[in-house]
Amino acid sequence: MFFGKLLSASLAIVMALQVSAVVAQDEAQVVNLYTSRHYQTDEALYSNFTELTGITVNRIEAGGDALIERIKNEGINSPADIYMSVDAGTMWRAQQAGFLAPSSSEILESRIPQNLRHPDGNWYGFSTRARLIIYNKELINPEDITSYEDLANPKWHGLICIRSSSNMYNLSLLASLIEHHGAAEAEAWAKGVVHHFARDPQGGDTDQIRAVASGECGLAVANSYYYARLMRSNMDGDKAVVAATGIIFPNQDGRGTHVNISGAGIVNSAPHPENAMKFLEYLASDSAQKYFAEGNNEYPVVEGLLENEALLEMGEFNMDTVNVSVFGRNQAEAQRVFDRAGWK
């Protein structure tokens, strides 16, 4: 009887260990992604990674700043493996919060241009969007405006529509102007643009484009992927918007057009760091880069992979090669400049 009980107990222990091993193995085949990307088209991006690696992508989606606070509050017990955002300034704030670990990868360093990643490898950019000038074809001669700086020209008084000063894309644009010209000159520019507003800032980038098409404004600033969405739309109203407007890639005769990124980095307390690195390296792969472009009309960071017909039709352009981390470093100053300029 004693030996029978001992044998039963031993078998139970072995079975428990086997179950624990299976559970641990299953739990290891995940990567926990905290992301401010909210695009349904990214589903194909994640499912393809799982198909290739067997690693399931668990997602928490929220605003970039909300996720930063969540990871800070969770501390070393955070389940987050990766933090991902749609703005270089937000990536910089995450790094400043101290929870993004420097990482080194030959794949990432060889495929992602230096200006689109953190200098110390705390995060990497995996797609870009250009900040365009949109113009009404009946109201504006595109030869009269070639740069962001030209928006402050008095000739555009009462013709400019643009988002609020708190918008991350405008903050990053102004941060780049501060980097190139200094805060005083950037403030003079911002005051000039405010003086030429057709209306108080309101709505998103697509709203600015539609306002230009209707003639409420003559000029607007918007990200390239919003315009590409309209170009690819089958709706008659969207086709009319595209027909009534044109695009300008600013500063092509100088430093190049301002671009922002979608970026990601590994959390320093990541419970699955190896899976996290596999995911980042996957985002730099040919297949994932094409998903970024085709799914959400973003530019791949790896050259030679652009196949999106709308983006190709928009034409090639030279980008500003300043390191995108300066958008974060100059962001607080950019907000102060906007406030002093009266940009709502």
pLDDT in tens, 89-130: 999 999 999 999 899 899 999 999 999 999 999 999 999 999
CATH number for the domain spanning 71: value is 3.40.190.10
Residues 106 and 122 in one domain: yes
Give per-residue pLDDT as tens, 61-72: 999 999 999 999
**Residue entry with tokens 């958008």:** 327
Residues 149 and 115 in one domain: no
Residue 22 domain-assigned? Answer: no
Q: Is the pTM of this model over 0.85?
A: yes
Residue 16 domain-assigned? Answer: no
Residues 120 and 155 in one domain: no
Give per-residue pLDDT as tens, 85-99: 999 999 999 999 999
Residue 2 domain-assigned? Answer: no
Residue 12 domain-assigned? Answer: no
The helix (run of H) or strand (run of E) holding residue 192 is helix 183-195
Give per-residue pLDDT as tens, 249-274: 999 999 999 999 999 999 999 999 99
Looking at residue 38, its pLDDT comes to 84
Tell me what the mean pLDDT of segment 275-304 comes to: 95
Report whether pLDDT(335) > 70. yes
Residues 144 and 253 in one domain: yes
Report whether pLDDT(9) > 60. no
Number of helices (H) and strands (E), helices first, in the chain?
A: 15, 9
Residue 213 domain-assigned? Answer: yes
Residues 182 and 195 in one domain: yes
Report whether pLDDT(176) > 50. yes
C-beta of residue 107 within 8 angstroms of C-beta of residue 281:
yes
Residues 204 and 133 in one domain: yes
Distance CA 338, CA 316 (A): 31
Going along the chain, which residue ranges are E strands?
Answer: 30-35, 56-61, 82-85, 124-136, 160-161, 219-223, 245-248, 259-266, 299-300
Report whether pLDDT(211) > 50. yes
Exposure string over 69-106, b if 16+ CB within 10 A, otherwise e: eebeeeeeebbbbbbbbbbbbbbbbbbeeebbbebeee
Residue 232 domain-assigned? Answer: yes
Residues 242 and 225 in one domain: yes
Provide the 3-class DSSP secondary structure of residue 185: helix
Report whether pLDDT(11) > 60. no
SS (H, E, C) 273-334: HHHHHHHHHHHCCHHHHHHHHHHHCCEECCCCCCCCHHHHHHCCCCECCCCCCHHHHCHHHH
Residue 6 domain-assigned? Answer: no
Report whether pLDDT(175) > 80. yes
Residues 124 and 134 in one domain: no
| Mean residue pLDDT across the chain | 92
Domain count, the chain: 2
Residue 23 domain-assigned? Answer: no
Give per-residue pLDDT as tens, 195-205: 999 999 999 99
Distance CA 84, CA 100 (A): 11
Looking at residue 40, its pLDDT comes to 79
Residues 204 and 84 in one domain: no
Residues 147 and 123 in one domain: no
Residues 119 and 212 in one domain: no
Domain that holds residue 83: 29-128+265-312
Residues 53 and 87 in one domain: yes
Looking at residue 39, its pLDDT comes to 80
Looking at residue 41, its pLDDT comes to 80
| 27 band by pLDDT with thresholds 50, 70 and 90 | low
Report whether pLDDT(8) > 70. no
Q: What is the DSSP string of 207-225?
A: HHHHHHHHTS-SEEEEEHH
